[in-house]
């Protein structure tokens, strides 16, 4: 059913002039942009966006360990230590840099936007996803360079994240209701 989800074109996407291609990928899939703005996020919004929640930080660490394991590389740090370190990198990545924030609406928008975006590490991402098509970054390279993986986009991870993230970046008055010309095919 109809859902709303948050998309951020991260600074690397903006610097590489890939804003248009990112939006087009969602629009081409029948999803509708109902709010959009360019911002330089301050530290406090990044702090609220990437919550310091232990479970979330452990999930970042677990995905990282898993990716290394698949390639036979052993990781000494705990999930939490990795998550905490990456949260630090995320402040450097997003704070005071140009970001395009969008709310995307449509059928199963959260899952569809996630699928179109692809896996966290572009090297692992499906070749037809945005991250897979436009980036070749990876866990090892990001870790070696002590920075966040430059994967161009943030998209809400699940419905609960979307419900928290949309109002963090947008006031309800900044969201615009309108009908796309092709909507009747899906929704009438
Ligand atoms: P996603 O953005 O795919 O939902 P996560 O929520 O797990 O991924 O992580 C948030 C962001 O942190 C990622 O998009 C990426 O930029 C960065 N990141 C995650 N894991 C690592 C890592 N091992 N090394 C560097 N950066 C990472
Ligand atoms: Mg996430």
Nearest bound ligand to the CA of residue 59: 1
In sequence order, what are the residues at sequence separation of 6 or more whose Cβ sits closer than 8 angstroms to the Cβ of residue 18? 9, 134, 152
Q: Which is more confident, 184 or 32?
A: 32
> 185 pLDDT band (50/70/90 cuts)?
confident
Q: How far is the CA of 153 from the centre of ligand 1 (A)?
A: 10
Q: Can you tell me the mean pLDDT for 49-58?
A: 96
Cα(154)–Cα(70) distance, rounded to whole angstroms? 24
Give nearest CA residue, ligand 1 atom 14: 120
Above 90 in pLDDT, residue 71?
no
C-alpha count within 13 angstroms, C-beta hemisphere, residue 88: 9
Q: Which fold has domain 2-178?
A: Alpha-Beta Plaits (3.30.70)
- What residues are in contact with ligand 1 under a 6 Å CB criterion? 60, 63-64, 86, 89-90, 120, 139, 142-143, 148-149, 151, 154, 157
Count other Cβ atoms within 10 Å, centred on residue 115: 14
Report how far apart, in Å, the C-alpha atoms of 169 and of each of 60, 66, 89, 96, 103 are. 22, 31, 20, 15, 9
pLDDT value, residue 48: 98
Taking only the tens place, the pLDDT of each residue in 133-177 is 999 999 999 999 999 999 999 999 999 999 999 999 999 999 999
In sequence order, what are the residues at sequence separation of 6 or more whose Cβ sits closer than 8 angstroms to the Cβ of residue 184? none
Q: How far is the CA of 120 from the centre of ligand 1 (A)?
A: 6
Q: Tell me the three state secondary structure of residue 18.
A: coil
Q: Tell me the three state secondary structure of residue 7.
A: strand
The answer to whether the CB of 169 falls within 8 A of the CB of 101 is yes
Above 90 in pLDDT, residue 188?
no
Q: DSSP E strands: which ranges in the chain?
A: 2-9, 32-39, 99-107, 153-155
Which tokens belong to 100?
């395009």
Length of the chain: 188
The answer to whether the CB of 149 falls within 8 A of the CB of 31 is no
3-state DSSP helix/strand/coil percent for the chain, to nearest 5? 50, 15, 35
49 is an active site residue: no
């Amino acid at each position: 059913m109809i859902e709303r989800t948050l998309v951020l074109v991260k600074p690397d996407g903006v610097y590489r002039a890939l804003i248009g291609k990112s939006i087009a990928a969602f629009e081409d899939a029948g999803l509708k942009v109902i709010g959009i703005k360019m911002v330089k996020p301050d530290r406090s919004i990044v702090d609220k966006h990437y919550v310091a929640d232990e479970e979330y930080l452990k999930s970042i660490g677990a995905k990282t360990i898993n990716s290394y394991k698949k390639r036979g590389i052993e990781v000494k740090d705990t999930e939490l230590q990795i998550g905490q370190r990456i949260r630090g990198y995320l402040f450097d990545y997003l704070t005071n840099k140009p970001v395009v924030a969008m709310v995307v609406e449509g059928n199963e928008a959260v899952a569809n936007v996630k699928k179109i975006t692809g896996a966290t590490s572009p090297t692992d991402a499906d070749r037809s996803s945005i991250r897979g098509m436009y980036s070749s970054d990876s866990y090892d390279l990001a870790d070696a360079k002590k920075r966040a993986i430059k994967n161009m986009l943030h998209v809400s991870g699940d419905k609960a994240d979307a419900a928290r993230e949309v109002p963090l970046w947008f006031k309800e008055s900044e969201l615009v209701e309108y009908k796309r010309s092709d909507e009747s095919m899906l929704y009438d």
